[in-house]
């Protein structure tokens, strides 16, 4: 086993290996490209990077979801092995690059620190076994070990029961009567390369007319961890406004979509038509543009404004409404 101090050195090698596996540069001795490849891998979505504007709790949620992903990936095909490799790598870089450096790290993380540390060490061992096997196959066989990866722009289907939204609105009724927003977290599992939303978690929260914010999320994280639930997105109401993503909503969605590129934001506006919408940032231009705007103006995304003219987001075309799905509402309030 490795100690925590050695993880960054291990990951430096794995940055290269992950890009090597992903891009199949097997026609030349890769030592020639090592420095360049490490730089490219560092700039790719394989590596989790620190953004202090993202709440620390979202990074903890990311770690729990990544561990759930890792547990659920079947390693029965080359494509699945590669996805498994990338998930392992993302979790390790999350632990070493973010969870020890975020400005808000403190006592709250102690509940998960030991679990994440042990998981990171196990992930490193698994990564090294994959690395060793793939390198051996390359040098002995001189053949690509894996087929071409599916396009990184491919968004996997999310299936959700429309009755979940209807039931969510019954929980939100009291807040809507007061013209106050209400929110929940959409969770599920990855089955046959589709996300099945089978849980809606209702956290303790604070809210007003223009926003809602989960608080005291430790119970929610523990429940997700115990049930191996992947965070697939979030749902909230607009009691007095139409169905759109405000800049406040976009800031929240940005943190979810960093966690999972398919992550969705469902908005419920019962007083208007359309009354329900499922949205996400355009990939990758919407995410990149929002990040640039936030860096240029730190106040961007903290007021409930409409920025539709920037075309940052769009309706989700990969959401399938499936009334046959089972689901559960879990209320933590």
What number of residues does the chain have?
333
Contact 194, 156 (CB under 8 A): yes
Burial class (CB in 10 A: 0-12, 13-18, 19+), 9: exposed
- Domain of 312, CATH number, reads 3.40.140.10
Dihedral sign of CA atoms 276, 277, 278, 280 in order: negative
The answer to whether 41 and 15 have CB atoms below 8 angstroms apart is: yes
pLDDT in tens, 241-269: 999 998 889 988 988 888 788 999 999 99
Mean pLDDT of 141-146: 39
Residues 242, 111, single domain; the answer is no
Total domains in the fold of the chain: 2
Name which of 280, 277, 254 is nearest 266 in CA terms. Answer: 277
Cβ neighbours of residue 247 under 8 Å, at least 6 residues apart?
300, 301, 302, 303, 304, 305, 306, 307
One domain for residues 202 and 137:
no
The pLDDT > 90 percentage for the chain reads 29
- Is the pLDDT at 152 greater than 50? The verdict is no
Domain with 41 in it: 4-141
Higher pLDDT, 309 or 105: 105
Domain boundary residue among 115, 141, 167? 141
Confidence check: pLDDT of 211 > 80: yes
Q: Which residue carries 């607009």 as its tokens?
A: 238
Is residue 14 within 8 A of residue 89, CB to CB? The reply is yes
Give the end of a domain, one of 141, 167, 192: 141
Q: What is the chain's alpha carbon radius of gyration, rounded to the nearest angstrom? A: 21
Strand 194-202 and strand 328-331: pairing?
Answer: parallel
**103 DSSP 8-state letter:** T
Return the H-helix or E-strand segment holding 186: strand 183-191
303: confidence class by pLDDT, cuts 50, 70, 90? low
Query: What local confidence, expressed as pLDDT, does residue 207 receive?
Result: 92
Give the pLDDT confidence of 157-206 residue by residue, as tens digits: 999 999 999 999 999 999 999 999 999 999 998 888 889 999 999 999 99
- Residue 145 has phi, psi (to 5 degrees) of -75, -25
Is there a single domain that holds both residue 169 and residue 223? yes
| Residue 232 · residue 263 · CB < 8 Å | yes
Q: What is the pLDDT of residue 87?
A: 76
* Nearest partner of 248 among 216, 310, 294, judged by Cα: 294
Gap between the Cα atoms of 63 and 70, Å rounded: 11
Do 253 and 312 contact (CB within 8 A), yes or no? Answer: no
pLDDT at 140 > cutoff 50: no
Mean pLDDT (whole number) for 271-296: 86
User: How many Å apart are CA 308 and CA 293, to the nearest integer?
Assistant: 14
Would you state the pLDDT for residue 260?
84
187 shares a domain with 53: no
307 band by pLDDT with thresholds 50, 70 and 90: low
Last residue of a domain, one of 87, 111, 141: 141
Beta bridge partners of 267: 236, 277
Q: What is the pLDDT of residue 321?
A: 96
Q: 209 and 295 share a domain?
A: yes
The pLDDT value given to residue 201: 96
**Alpha helices (H) in 154-246, listed in sequence order:** 162-177, 218-226
How far apart, in whole angstroms, are the C-alpha atoms of residue 61 and residue 46?
17
322 and 292 housed in the same domain = yes
- Report pTM: 0.71
Average pLDDT, stretch 286-305? Answer: 72
Q: Do 102 and 174 share a domain, yes or no?
A: no
pLDDT value of residue 133: 65
149 lies in some domain: no
Residue 120 contacts residue 96 (beta carbons within 8 Å): yes
Tell how far CA 215 is from the center of its chain: 19
Q: What is the mean pLDDT of residues 201-226?
A: 87
The answer to whether the beta carbons of residues 312 and 286 sit under 8 Å apart is yes
Q: Give the pLDDT band (50/70/90) at residue 134.
A: low
Task: Quote the pLDDT of residue 75.
Answer: 63
Give the model confidence (pLDDT) of 54-72 as tens digits. Answer: 777 778 887 888 888 777 7
Residues 135 and 162 in one domain: no
From CA 17, how far away is CA 181, in angstroms rounded? 46
Query: Whole-angstrom Cα distance, residue 193 to residue 57?
Result: 27
More confident residue, 332 or 78: 332
Calculate the average pLDDT of the chain.
75
């Amino acid at each position: 086993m490795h100690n925590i101090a050695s993880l960054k050195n291990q990951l430096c090698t794995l940055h290269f290996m992950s890009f090597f596996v992903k891009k199949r540069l097997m026609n030349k001795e890769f030592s020639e490209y090592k420095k360049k490849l490490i730089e490219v891998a560092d700039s790719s979505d394989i590596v989790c990077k620190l953004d202090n504007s993202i709440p620390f709790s979202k990074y903890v949620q990311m770690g729990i979801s990544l561990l759930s992903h890792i547990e659920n990936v079947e390693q029965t095909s080359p494509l699945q092995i590669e996805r498994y490799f990338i998930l392992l790598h993302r979790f390790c870089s999350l632990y070493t690059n973010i969870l020890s450096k975020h400005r808000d790290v403190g006592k709250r993380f102690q509940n998960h620190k030991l679990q994440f540390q042990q998981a990171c060490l196990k992930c490193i061992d698994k990564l090294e076994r994959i690395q060793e096997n793939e390198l051996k196959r390359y040098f002995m066989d001189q053949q690509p070990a894996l087929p071409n990866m599916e396009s990184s722009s491919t968004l996997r289907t999310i299936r959700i029961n429309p009755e979940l939204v209807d039931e969510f609105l019954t929980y939100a009724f009291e807040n809507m009567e007061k013209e106050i927003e209400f929110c929940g977290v959409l969770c599920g599992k990855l089955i046959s390369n589709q996300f099945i939303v089978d849980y809606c978690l209702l956290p303790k929260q604070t809210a007003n007319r223009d926003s809602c914010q989960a608080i005291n999320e430790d119970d929610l994280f523990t429940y997700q961890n115990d049930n191996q639930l992947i965070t697939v997105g979030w749902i909230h109401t607009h009691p007095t406004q139409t169905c759109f993503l405000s800049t406040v909503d976009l800031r929240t969605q940005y943190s979810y979509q960093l966690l999972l590129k398919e992550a969705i934001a469902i908005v419920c506006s019962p007083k208007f038509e359309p009354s329900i919408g499922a949205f996400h940032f355009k990939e990758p231009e919407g995410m990149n543009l929002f990040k640039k705007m936030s860096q240029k103006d730190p106040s961007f995304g903290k007021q409930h404004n409409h920025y539709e003219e920037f075309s940052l987001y769009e309706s989700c075309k990969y959401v399938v409404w499936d009334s046959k799905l089972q689901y559960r509402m879990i209320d933590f309030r």
